[in-house]
Amino acid sequence: MAAAACSPLPRLVPVATGIGLREPHREAFVAAGSPIPWVEIHPENYLVPGGPRLAGILRVRRDRPVSCHGVGLSLGSADGLDPDHLMRLRALYDRLDPGLISEHLSWSVTDAIYLNDLLPLPYTEDSLVRVRRNIDHAQDAFGRRILVENPAACLAFADSTIPEAEFLAELAARTGCGLLLDVNNLYVSSINLGFDPAAWLDAIPADAVGELHLAGHARMTVGGEELLIDDHGSVVGDAVMALYADVLDRIGPRPVLIEWDNDLPPLDGLLAEAGKAQRLLDARMRQAEMPAKIPEVHCAG
Amino acid sequence: MPADAKLAKLQSGFAAYLLRGDPAVAGALRPDLPAGRLTVYRNTVMGSLATVLGHAHPTLHRVLGGQRFTMLACRFAAEAPPRLPMLWSYGAGFADWLAAADLAASELTIEIPPWAPDLARLDWAMHEALFAADAEPLDLARLAAIPLEQAGSLRLAPHPSLRLVRSGWTIHALWKDGDTVPAPLPEAVLIGRSPDDGGDGTVGGEVRCIRLTAADGALAATLLSGATLDEAVGSLIAGDETAGAETVAGADLQSLLALLLQNRLLAGFALDRPPSLTGREGNDP
C-alpha cells in the first residue's frame, strides 16, 4: 500500500472520546473552539464538487484529527466494489488525511442501485471470500488500512454457518484490516438475535480493534414483538454503557466515538455524552497506568 | 450456482423487497426469526429516502405538507432509487417525475398541483447550487478594461452554481411564502451561490434566489447558453426562436448584467474577435 500524503495537520486519532460531527453542529463546533480531541464524519456527505460544506470540513480538519466512517462502500456486495466510488473516496482521503478510515460489515449496493441502509450478510464461506476480496480492493485503492464495523441486525440468514465474531476475526487475519467495535450494535444484535455478547467478545482479536462506537438505540414493536433499533437518536443506554465498561476491561483503552444522527441535541448534549464515555475511559487508563498515547494500531496509513 | 451469483441473487431479492415489497427473500431468513422483521429495513430505506428528498426540496415539502410529500417521494424512490452512495446527489429526477407521473391508475390518489414540478426544479437548483464547484468571481477590473467597441463580442462564463428555472407559474412568490396561491403567469428564477470569503480563509457562500421577468429569463437563457452580448441583443430584436418573440420583448440587458455582477454570479468571460497573434483574451475560469 502506498503511504498517505504527509500533512502538517494533527492527524492521529488519540485514545480519547470523539464525536460524530454532523452538519448542524459543524459551525457551533468550530465557534466553540473545537472542544473535543477528534471527530468522525461520513465521507459521502463531503464528496461534493465545492461549496461551504466541503470548505467547512476542511476548516475543521485544520484543528482536529478526523476519522472517516464510510456508509456507502458496501463491502458485502456480491458484485464487488464500485471503482468510481473508491476513487472519489481516495481523493477525499488524500485531501483530509484522516487518522482512521472505517466501513461496515454489510452491503448496500446491488444491481447498481444504492439502498441507503447497512443490510445484513449471510455469514458463509462464500461471503467471507467475497468480503475479503472487497476489503483487499478497498485497502489497495485507498493505500490505507481500514477498520470494519460489526453491524446492528434484527434478522439473520438460514445459510449462515460462521458466527459473526469469527467472521470478523477471519477478515482481520486474512486482510490485515482492523475492527471497529460498535458496542451499541453488539448489544442490539445480541438482544434481537439472541446471542451472548460475552462469547462474541471472546472471539474478537483485541489487538485488531482500533476504535469503539457508542450510540443510543430505540425500542420498537414490530409484528407484536419488541425489537431494538439502532437509531442513534438518544443518549447511550445503561446496558450499552455497562457493556462498554466490559469491553474496556477486555481489550483496553481505544479511541471512543459518540454517534448521534437523529433527533440531534444541541452540541452541548453531545459533549455531555462524550464526557460520560471519557470518564470511563479515564478510569480504565488510570487502572492500566497507561499514559494517553497513540498506539500504532490506530494509524490508517 | 457460483458463490458470488448466489449472494447476488439474495441481494437482488432483498432489494426487490425493500423497493417493491416482493416477499420472496423471506425464504432465506433464519426460520426462528419472524419474517416481519424485514419491514424494519424497508421502513428505514423508504423513510430515509423520503427524508433526503424532503431536505433537497424544502419548499415543495412545506407547501404540499409532510404526508402528501412523503407519499409522492416514496413512490418516486421505488421507481427511481439512488444510483450513487451519495445521498446529497439524489433527487435530480424528482421534478421531471412529478411532471410525468400518472397516478390516476395507481392506489396513490394524490393530486399533483400543476406548479409542483417547477417548484421542485427551483428547490433542486438551490440544492445543486449549494454543492457546485467553487470558482473565483469575475474580476470587474478586467471587465472594465474591455474597449467599449468590443463589449458586444463578450461571452459570459457563469459561476458553476448558476441555474435558471423558467416557469409558467409564479413560483418565486411561493418560495418566499408558502401560503401564496401561485398564479399561472410566466417568470424565471435565477439561482446561484454568491461566493463569500468565510473570513478565516475558507470559502463560504450563500445561495441566492432572484426573480426575473419572463423576458429577462429568456434573455438570461440566451446569455448563459454562450451567446455574445451582441447575439443576445439580436435575440431581443428578432425574437428568440425558442422563447418566442413575445417573451423577450421588454427584456433589459443592462439590468440583467448588473444583477449578475452585483451578486457575483459570473466567473469569467471570453472575448470573440478575429484571430490574432495574441490569441483569445479573457479570464476563463
Each residue's pLDDT tens digit, A49-64:
999 999 999 999 999 9
Interchain contact, B198 vs A52, CB within 8 Å = yes
Interchain contact, A130 vs B11, CB within 8 Å = no
Q: Evaluate whether residue A252 is within a structural domain.
A: yes
Interchain contact, B134 vs A50, CB within 8 Å = yes
ipTM: 0.92
Residues of chain B positioned with their CB less than 8 A from the CB of A119: 11, 14, 41
Residues of chain B positioned with their CB less than 8 A from the CB of A219: none
| Nearest Cβ partner for A56 among B19, B31, B202 | B202
Amino acid at B78: A
Give pLDDT, residue B249: 73
Give pLDDT, residue A290: 57
Give pLDDT, residue A4: 44
Task: Give how far B161 is from chain A: nearest CA, Å.
Answer: 9
Q: Evaluate whether residue A107 is within a structural domain.
A: yes
Cell of B150: 468590443
CA angle B48, B50, B54 (to 5 degrees): 115
Nearest CA in chain B to A58: B202
* 3-class DSSP assignment, residue A169: helix
- Determine the angle formed by the axes of helices B253-262 and B214-224, rounding to 10 degrees: 70
Q: What does pLDDT average to over chain A?
A: 93
Closest CA to A266 of A1, A17, A27: A27
Of A208 and B273, the structure prediction assigns the larger pLDDT to A208
What is the Cβ-side half-sphere exposure of residue A223, based on CA atoms within 13 angstroms? 10
| Count of domains for chain A | 1
Give pLDDT, residue B194: 87
Domain with A156, as residue range(s), is 17-289
Q: Evaluate whether residue A283 is within a structural domain.
A: yes
Q: Evaluate whether residue A1 is within a structural domain.
A: no
**Which letter, b or e, does each residue of A64-77 get, where b requires 16 or more Cβ atoms within 10 Å of its Cβ?**
bbbbbbbbbbbbbb
Give pLDDT, residue B108: 64
| Confidence at B282, pLDDT banded by 50, 70, 90 | very low
Interchain contact, B82 vs A116, CB within 8 Å = yes
| Nearest Cβ partner for B37 among A111, A154, A160 | A154
CA angle B119, B121, B122 (to 5 degrees): 65
Interchain contact, B85 vs A155, CB within 8 Å = no
A234-269 pLDDT per residue, tens: 999 999 999 999 999 999 999 999 999 999 999 999
CA separation for the pair A38, A255 (Å, rounded): 9
Amino acid at B57: H
Closest CA to B17 of A155, A188, A270, A198: A155
Region class of B137: left (phi > 0), else alpha (psi between -120 and 50), else beta:
beta
CB of B198 within 8 Å of a chain A CB? The answer is yes
CA separation for the pair A190, A187 (Å, rounded): 5
CA distances from A57 to A68, A92, B227, B253, B255 (A): 11, 11, 38, 39, 37
Closest CA to B122 of B223, B211, B195: B211
Q: Evaluate whether residue A298 is within a structural domain.
A: no
Interchain contact, A110 vs B14, CB within 8 Å = yes
Nearest CA in chain A to B29: A157
pLDDT over 90 for what percent of chain A? 91
Interchain contact, B83 vs A227, CB within 8 Å = no
Model pTM score: 0.91
| Confidence at B107, pLDDT banded by 50, 70, 90 | low
CA separation for the pair B54, B76 (Å, rounded): 12
B42-98 pLDDT per residue, tens: 999 999 999 999 999 999 999 999 999 999 999 999 999 999 999 999 999 999 999
Residues of chain A positioned with their CB less than 8 A from the CB of B202: 52, 55-56, 58-59
Interchain contact, A115 vs B18, CB within 8 Å = yes
CATH number where A130 lies: 3.20.20.150
Q: What is the mean pLDDT of residues B93-112?
A: 82
Interchain contact, A126 vs B45, CB within 8 Å = no
Interchain contact, A108 vs B29, CB within 8 Å = no
| Nearest Cβ partner for A116 among B34, B38, B49 | B49
Interchain contact, B8 vs A110, CB within 8 Å = yes
* 3-class DSSP assignment, residue A289: coil
CA separation for the pair B211, B120 (Å, rounded): 16
CA distances from A163 to A118, A123, A149, A166, B6 (A): 18, 7, 15, 5, 20
Q: Which residues touch A57 (CB under 8 Å, ≥6 apart)?
A: A26, A41, A46, A66, A96
CA separation for the pair A139, B139 (Å, rounded): 44
Cell of B43: 421502513
Residues of chain B positioned with their CB less than 8 A from the CB of A54: 131
Cell of B153: 463580442
CB atoms within 10 A of CB B141: 7
Q: Which runs of consecutive H residues, i.e. helices, occur in B149-213?
A: 171-176
B131-190 pLDDT per residue, tens: 999 999 998 888 889 998 998 999 999 999 999 999 999 999 999 998 888 999 999 999
Q: Evaluate whether residue A187 is within a structural domain.
A: yes
Q: Spell out the SS3 assignment of A227-250.
A: EEECCCCCCCCHHHHHHHHHHHHH
CA separation for the pair A16, A202 (Å, rounded): 24
CA separation for the pair A235, A231 (Å, rounded): 11
Amino acid at B241: E
| Confidence at A27, pLDDT banded by 50, 70, 90 | very high
Amino acid at B49: L
Q: Evaluate whether residue A296 is within a structural domain.
A: no
CA separation for the pair B138, B159 (Å, rounded): 9
Provide the residue count of chain A: 301
Nearest CA in chain A to B44: A117
Cβ pairs A/B, distance under 8 A: 160
Nearest CA in chain B to A84: B84
Burial-class residue B39 by CB neighbours within 10 Å (0-12, 13-18, 19+).
middle
Residues A163, A167, A170, A176, CA torsion sign = negative
* 3-class DSSP assignment, residue A80: coil
Between β-strands A107-110 and A113-119, what pairing exists: parallel, antiparallel or unpaired? antiparallel
Of A173-182, A281-290, B211-220, the least confident: A281-290
Task: Give how far B105 is from chain A: nearest CA, Å.
Answer: 26
Question: Rounded to the nearest 5°, which phi and psi values hold at A272?
Answer: -65, -40
Q: Which residues touch B181 (CB under 8 Å, ≥6 apart)?
A: none
| Confidence at B205, pLDDT banded by 50, 70, 90 | confident
- Determine the angle formed by the axes of helices A52-63 and A83-96, rounding to 10 degrees: 50
Interchain contact, B202 vs A58, CB within 8 Å = yes
Give pLDDT, residue B106: 64
CA separation for the pair A236, A136 (Å, rounded): 33
- With a CB-CB cutoff of 8 Å, which residues 27-86 of chain B face chain A? 28-31, 33-34, 36-41, 44-45, 48-49, 52, 81-86
- Determine which of A89, A114, A132, A263 to mutate to test the interface with B (most B C-beta atoms within 10 Å): A114
| Confidence at B285, pLDDT banded by 50, 70, 90 | very low
CB of B160 within 8 Å of a chain A CB? The answer is yes
Q: Evaluate whether residue A34 is within a structural domain.
A: yes
Q: What is the mean pLDDT of residues B259-275?
A: 85
Please list the residues that pair with A222 across neighbouring strands: A225
Contact B10, B69 (CB under 8 A): no
CA separation for the pair B76, A92 (Å, rounded): 30
